[in-house]
Structure 1
Amino acid sequence: MPSTPIRQDDRGYLQESRSQVLRCVDALDDYQLRHPMTPTGTNLLGVVKHLIGIEAGYLGACLGRRPFHLPLPWIADESAEPNRDMWATEDESRDYILDLYRQASAHSDAVLDEVGLLAAADVPWWPEESRATTAAALLSRVLKDTAMHAGQLQILRELIDGRAGSDRDDAGDDDWWAAYCGRLEDVALRFSG
């Protein structure tokens, strides 16, 4: 039997994922944070910006009690281009985005404390027949999205400077990792054409 109720665990897991998001962008310069690293333009600061909307939307507006108090122009402006939430403009500094993420997260926590996990929720951008839900279901949704994006950010960060997750050093030092990757490449080469 779990030591804590599952939804209490979910809140703890969400906090861990949020912390991982912030660790992944720590000590990088503005270019490294904004540089598109995939063919679809995925970049670290853009992922954090996207998560602001996830927090403010699902755990703010959808609970109908207390919407997030700061404007999110990339969401509010219906004429904004597609993917506008996935990159930071020149006017949106790293400090602005990271502070907004921290505020949106704190707001989500405050709303959940206020309404409780059994509170009714409504997600206006979902199909009409499935819009009605609960705070607990939205917490699970935000946890899933944040954990998924935290993993994505870990990989992007590792591609930038080799800094991997917090348990990297438990396995070995840089020499150990180089030898490990060499072994993996040897095995992979056995399957090359």
Structure 2
Amino acid sequence: MVTAAKDVLKDYLRGARGVLLWKLDGLSERDLRLPRTPTGTNLLGIVKHALHTEVGYFGPTFGREWPTPDELVPADGADPQADWYATETETAAGVIDLYRRVQAFADETVDALPLDAVGHVAHWGNAEVTLHEIMVHTIVDLQRHAGHADILREQLDGAAGLLPTNGNLPDAADWPAYTRRLTAIANRFD
């Protein structure tokens, strides 16, 4: 059986979203917000960025506006990183809820338009794009950020894996021995 291209893209989009949210499961507000890289990358900020990305690509790009713009970071705001962290007044539950509502909004756009529907991305110089292109671009972007979240989560508490139901890692691995072996190999190149 051949699955329609749009259905395949929708499935991959849902999967990327799910994995990204899964990486937040069970963590405290502090752990979700704490910067884990020198550039401030944090788990909740990745999700906040993802929701803003989806609103833009599946909203204004195709002539739709988010119904409650006060919930979003203004595009012309003073802080260029404002969509990469949760403020003191935002909760993790609130950001996650907003992202789920943004997903439904984006899905409405996907369901209403054919893959060859034309839109314009303002921050790409008003470039003409198709829904197909935006779906692929968004899936790639979300998977990239899911990879970031996977690494941050593993560094935080050792939780790692591809999916909640499929870790995609050996079950009985001796990870300390494995990393010592890889370190020994790397050290031969000093």
Q: TM-score, with normalisation over the residues of structure 2?
A: 0.90
User: In 2, distance between residues paired with 1:69 and 1:134?
Assistant: 23
1:183 to 177, 181, 184: 181
- Is 1:13 the counterpart of 2:12? The answer is yes
* Partner residue in 2 for 1:76: 74
Q: Does the Cα contact within 8 Å between 2:52 and 2:72 map onto a contact in 1? A: no
Which segments of 5 or more consecutive residues in structure 1 lack a partner in the other structure?
A: none
User: In 1, distance between residues paired with 2:169 and 2:79?
Assistant: 44
Q: Does the Cα contact within 8 Å between 1:74 and 1:84 map onto a contact in 2? A: no
2:117 to 115, 119, 137: 119
Q: 1:20-76 deviations in whole A, cap 9, x for unaligned? A: 001100100011100011111000001100001111000112111x32223255532
Compute the displacement of 1:79 (Å).
3.3
User: In 2, distance between residues paired with 1:91 and 1:31?
Assistant: 13
Matched length: 187
* Partner residue in 1 for 2:56: 57
Compute the displacement of 1:148 (Å).
0.6
Which segments of 5 or more consecutive residues in structure 2 lack a partner in the other structure?
A: none
Q: TM-score, with normalisation over the residues of structure 1?
A: 0.89
* Partner residue in 1 for 2:134: 138
Change over 3 Å in CA distance of 1:168–1:180 after alignment to 2: farther
- Is 1:89 the counterpart of 2:109? The answer is no
- What one-letter code is carried by the residue in structure 2 that aligns with 1:59? F
- What one-letter code is carried by the residue in structure 2 that aligns with 1:76? P
* Partner residue in 1 for 2:30: 31
Compute the displacement of 1:146 (Å).
0.6
Which structure has more helix as a fraction of its residues? 1
For 1:96-111, list aligned pairs within 5 A: 96-111=94-109
Compute the displacement of 1:185 (Å).
1.7
User: In 1, distance between residues paired with 2:184 and 2:75?
Assistant: 51
Compute the displacement of 1:144 (Å).
1.0
Identity %: 36
Compute the displacement of 1:141 (Å).
1.2
Change over 3 Å in CA distance of 1:14–1:161 after alignment to 2: same
Change over 3 Å in CA distance of 1:136–1:72 after alignment to 2: farther
User: In 2, distance between residues paired with 1:62 and 1:82?
Assistant: 20
User: In 1, distance between residues paired with 2:59 and 2:138?
Assistant: 11
3-state SS of 1:171 partner: coil
Q: 1:93-121 deviations in whole A, cap 9, x for unaligned? A: 00110001111111111111012222111
User: In 2, distance between residues paired with 1:185 and 1:19?
Assistant: 33
